């Protein structure tokens, strides 16, 4: 494989490449069980005069680097990241941006991107400067092809830039006085979620113009960060519809 090849696996993730970036496909692989399900992918691959091949599941696992390939792998151009400045400057007047402060689990990244695709939000990855992990792309179930994603090592600086433009920066914090549903969230808005274990960093918390907590029974310490993201996005969209 070439150094700039990207490997995407998972049925919906691969079909999404065929639908939204067919020109990016370099080659495709599938097993016998998925032959019918991947027909749109094979059609797009053939239309671009790119090779595809039916292989055994073990070979798919070797190509994917994972046993969770779901019977199909695409080797393609990397999924592009937006430049942070372009994302911030291009944020719509009623837009919703979800910023992740050092959230490092790729499965959480994928679940969050899937929710962002459903609600029409962008995602800003903090604490990283690289693209989404292949496991995240699989978990996103095709959403990674639709969601504007940018990454930055300096999340606090990026959020400060948004705040200077008048965009509210609302952090999720289970110790916040205000509950999420006490009043509607503003639009535009940037919603910030912290690291799975440590929450918001002090630098990012200092930039937040408000913090909210998701009300519950407190029977467990907290919600999974991807679940929290979905609840926050639903609340933000409801606020924009009022």
22, 123: one domain = no
120, 45: one domain = no
Question: Is the residue at 234 inside a domain?
Answer: yes
193, 91: one domain = yes
Q: Give the lowest-confidence range in 98-107, 165-174, 219-228.
A: 219-228
- CATH (domain of 60): 3.30.1330.30
20, 127: one domain = no
pLDDT in the model for residue 76: 98
Give the mean model confidence (pLDDT) for residues 81-106. 95
Cα–Cα distance measured from residue 136 to residue 152, given in angstroms and rounded to the nearest whole number: 17
Question: Is the residue at 92 inside a domain?
Answer: yes
Q: In this structure, what token pair is assigned to residue 106? A: 């790729």
68, 156: one domain = no
Scanning the structure block, which residue is given the tokens 């519809």?
241
The residues, any chain, with a CB within 8 Å of residue 50's CB and separated by 6 or more, are 25, 26, 27, 28
Question: Is the residue at 17 inside a domain?
Answer: yes
120, 19: one domain = no
Q: How confident is the model at residue 2 (pLDDT cuts 50, 70, 90)?
A: low
Domain termination site, one of 47, 76, 105: 76
Highest mean pLDDT among 11-15, 221-225, 237-241: 11-15
Domain termination site, one of 46, 76, 106: 76
Rg for the chain (alpha carbons), in Å?
19
Q: What is the pTM of this model?
A: 0.94
Calculate the average pLDDT of the chain: 95
Q: Give the lowest-confidence range in 66-70, 120-124, 125-129.
A: 125-129
Cα–Cα distance measured from residue 64 to residue 50, given in angstroms and rounded to the nearest whole number: 18
171, 194: one domain = yes
163, 193: one domain = yes
Q: Identify the domain containing residue 120 by its residue range.
A: 84-240
Q: How confident is the model at residue 218 (pLDDT cuts 50, 70, 90)?
A: confident
Number of domains in the chain: 2
Give the mean model confidence (pLDDT) for residues 134-158. 97
Burial-class residue 151 by CB neighbours within 10 Å (0-12, 13-18, 19+).
Answer: buried
133, 178: one domain = yes
pLDDT at 241 over 50: no
Question: Is the residue at 139 inside a domain?
Answer: yes
Q: What is the pLDDT of residues 21-59, one digit of tens each?
A: 999 999 999 999 999 999 999 999 999 999 999 999 999
147, 54: one domain = no
Report the share of the chain in percent with pLDDT over 90. Answer: 90
Cα–Cα distance measured from residue 91 to residue 96, given in angstroms and rounded to the nearest whole number: 8
Query: Among residues 162, 172, 239, 181, which one has the least CA distance to residue 210?
Result: 172
pLDDT at 121 over 80: yes
Question: Is the residue at 21 inside a domain?
Answer: yes
Domain termination site, one of 76, 100, 127: 76
Q: Which residue has the higher pLDDT, 239 or 64?
A: 64
Q: How confident is the model at residue 242 (pLDDT cuts 50, 70, 90)?
A: very low
231, 201: one domain = yes
pLDDT in the model for residue 1: 58
- CATH (domain of 176): 3.40.1280.10
Q: Is the peptide bond before 188 cis (omega within 30 degrees of 0)?
A: yes
Question: Is the residue at 1 inside a domain?
Answer: no
Burial-class residue 191 by CB neighbours within 10 Å (0-12, 13-18, 19+).
Answer: buried
70, 112: one domain = no
Question: Is the residue at 102 inside a domain?
Answer: yes
Q: Which residue has the higher pLDDT, 56 or 239?
A: 56
pLDDT in the model for residue 226: 97
Q: What is the pLDDT of residues 163-204, one digit of tens each?
A: 999 999 999 999 999 999 999 999 999 999 999 899 999 999
Q: How confident is the model at residue 221 (pLDDT cuts 50, 70, 90)?
A: confident
Q: In what order do the strands lie in the sheet with 169-172?
A: 149-152, 122-126, 96-101, 189-194, 169-172, 210-212
Q: Give the lowest-confidence range in 70-74, 117-121, 139-143, 237-241.
A: 237-241
How would you write the chain as a 3-class SS string?
CCCCCEEEECHHHHHHHHHHCHHHEEEEEECHHHCCCCHHHHHHHHHCCCCEEECCHHHHHHHHCCCCCCCEEEEECCCCCECHHHHHHCCCCCCEEEEEECCCCHHHHHHHHHHHHHHCCEEEEECCCCCCCHHHHHHCCCHHHCCCEEEECCHHHHHHHHHHCCCCEEEECCCCCCEHHHCCCCCCEEEEEEECCCECCHHHHHHCCEEEECCCCCCCCCCCHHHHHHHHHHHHHHHHCC
């Amino acid at each position: 494989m070439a150094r700039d090849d990207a490997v995407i696996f998972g049925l919906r993730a691969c079909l999404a490449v065929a639908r939204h970036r067919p020109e990016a496909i370099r080659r495709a692989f599938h097993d016998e069980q998925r032959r019918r399900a991947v027909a749109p992918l094979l059609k797009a691959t053939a239309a671009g005069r790119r090779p595809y091949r039916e292989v055994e599941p073990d070979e798919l696992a070797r190509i994917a680097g994972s046993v969770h390939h779901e019977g199909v792998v695409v080797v393609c151009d990397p999924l592009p990241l937006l430049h942070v400045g372009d994302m911030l400057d291009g944020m719509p007047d009623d837009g919703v941006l979800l910023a992740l402060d050092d959230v490092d689990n790729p499965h959480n990244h994928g679940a969050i991107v899937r929710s962002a695709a459903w609600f029409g939000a962008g995602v800003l990855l903090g604490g990283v400067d690289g693209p989404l992990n292949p496991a995240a792309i699989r978990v996103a179930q095709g959403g990674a092809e639709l969601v504007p994603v940018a990454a930055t090592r300096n999340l606090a600086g990026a959020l400060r830039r948004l705040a200077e433009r008048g965009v509210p920066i609302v952090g999720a914090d289970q110790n916040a006085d205000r509950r999420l549903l006490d009043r509607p969230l503003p639009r535009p808005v940037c919603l910030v979620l912290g690291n799975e274990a440590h929450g918001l960093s002090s630098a990012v918390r200092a930039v937040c113009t408000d913090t909210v907590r998701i009300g519950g029974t407190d029977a467990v310490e907290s919600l999974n960060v991807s679940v929290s993201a979905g609840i926050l996005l639903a609340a933000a969209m409801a606020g924009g519809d009022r």
